[in-house]
Structure 1
Amino acid sequence: MEKTNTILSRRKNLSIERCSCCDNIILYHKNLLLKFSPKSFQKFTSTLIDLDFNKRSITFADGTERMVINTQQKEVQMCFQKSEFKTICYALEEASVMLEVNDILYT
């Protein structure tokens, strides 16, 4: 029987899933793919949702406000408009709750 990933949260252009074979958490957003251990996912989630878009955003040349988020790889940064950032934060919180529920039910 083929295992499928557990969907933790899904929105337009965004999916957060738990991999059935390695237990990692995969976040897909447009052309961005991030892979986390469960522990690093929780750390990433808590760090991201604590950010204040209004304090950290900058105006780009096209007039759009975006927030740039550094990663551990100094050459790679993430960049989100306010609506994208809100959607990602909501999905991360939802996925965290779903992970807790799955752990309670299946451990």
Structure 2
Amino acid sequence: MCNIRTLCSKKNAHISHCAHCRTVYIWHNNLMLNFTPHDFLQFRNMLERQDFYDCCMLFPDGEERVIVNAPCKDISFTFTQQEWIELREAIAESILMQEVYELIE
């Protein structure tokens, strides 16, 4: 059975992982993503390579959002600049917490 531990929690982003199977969960508003530890690092690396203003576009509601493609080509995620910043910060903090847990174990 999974033993879920919180790694980081910010306004709209909550990141946790299972102490046993190491699955990483990103909860963001109504979205939940599951990653293996390797895929989580790959996702972080992909986000770090993108700059909000290089990738954002104006949406019909007048808000600029960045689009992040999911592994399934028919699904994309969108983030406002504030959500984008919070998500990237939460992921960075989560990786540090994972390292702390690994040192403790």
Pair in the same fold by TM > 0.5: yes
What secondary structure sits across from 1:63 in the alignment?
coil
Identity of aligned residues (%): 30
- Where does structure 1 lack aligned partners over 5 or more consecutive residues? none
In the aligned structure 2, how far is the partner of 1:4 from the partner of 1:70? 29
**Counterpart for residue 99 of structure 1:** 98
CA distance in 2, matches of 1:40, 1:101: 19
Moved over 3 A (4+): none
**Structure 2, unaligned stretches of length 5 or more?**
none
Offset, 1:3: 6.6
For the pair 1:79 / 2:75, whether they are aligned, the reply is no
The answer to which of 46-55 and 18-27 deviates more is 18-27
Q: Which has the higher contact order (CA 8 A, sep 6+)?
A: 2
Q: CA RMSD in A?
A: 1.5
Tell me the TM-score normalized by structure 1: 0.90
What is the count of residue pairs matched by the alignment? 105
